[in-house]
């Protein structure tokens, strides 16, 4: 079980990127560098936290919630998801225009309505799509997102996951 714990922490705590070789500025895939660790104050629980941590790698604490396509009470859910924070503000998992904004069906079934921790790069306003089309300007996590059930996250932090 220790190796599982290390793998899960590795997924939740680090990412590998390619470094430059220093001679001609080209990427050298054989020289991985670890992404910077999260700052101790990287937790996001409210809109105020969100606004102060714009552009940083963060851990967002809240409830996993499917987001309807439109404001109508009978609007359909198309698989877009956000984390609802303590103050009822939302942070979307990926910009709404991004293909990964539609979450996998098994993820929806596993996490819907449950407390979660999501790790990713936070934007108080999602970046625009590369093709210049209109898009909702909402807060979002962007890049590779790690999503963990809150109970699992807490157990890992305490070292009690068995």
**Pair 3, 25: CB distance under 8 Å:** no
The reply to whether 28 falls in a domain is no
Read off the CATH number of the domain in which 77 is found. 2.40.50
Residue 71 counted as domain residue: yes
**Residue 80 is assigned to a structural domain of this protein:** yes
Residue 64 token pair: 């996993």
Q: How many domains does the chain have?
A: 1
pLDDT digits (tens, 9 = 90+) for 2-30: 433 333 444 444 333 333 333 343 333 33
Span 117-162, pLDDT tens digits:
999 999 999 999 999 998 889 999 988 899 999 999 999 888 876 6
- pTM of whole model > 0.75? no
What element of type H or E holds 134?
none
Cβ–Cβ under 8 Å, residues 19 and 31: yes
Domain span at residue 73 reads 38-158
Angle 88-145-6 (CA atoms, 0-180°, nearest 5)?
115
């Amino acid at each position: 079980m220790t190796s599982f714990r290390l793998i899960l922490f590795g997924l939740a705590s680090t990412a590998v990127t390619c470094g430059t070789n220093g001679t001609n500025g080209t990427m050298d895939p054989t020289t991985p560098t670890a992404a910077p660790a999260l700052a101790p104050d990287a937790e996001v629980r409210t809109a105020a936290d969100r606004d102060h941590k714009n552009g940083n790698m963060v851990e967002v604490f809240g409830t996993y919630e499917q987001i309807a396509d439109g404001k109508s009470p009978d609007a359909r859910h198309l698989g877009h998801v956000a984390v609802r924070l303590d103050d009822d503000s939302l942070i979307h998992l990926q910009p709404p225009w991004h293909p990964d904004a539609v979450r996998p069906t098994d993820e929806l079934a596993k996490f819907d309505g449950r407390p979660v921790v999501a790790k990713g790069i936070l934007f108080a306003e999602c970046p625009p799509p590369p093709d210049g089309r209109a898009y909702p300007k909402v807060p979002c996590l962007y890049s590779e997102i790690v999503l963990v059930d809150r109970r699992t996250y807490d157990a890992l932090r305490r070292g009690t996951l068995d």
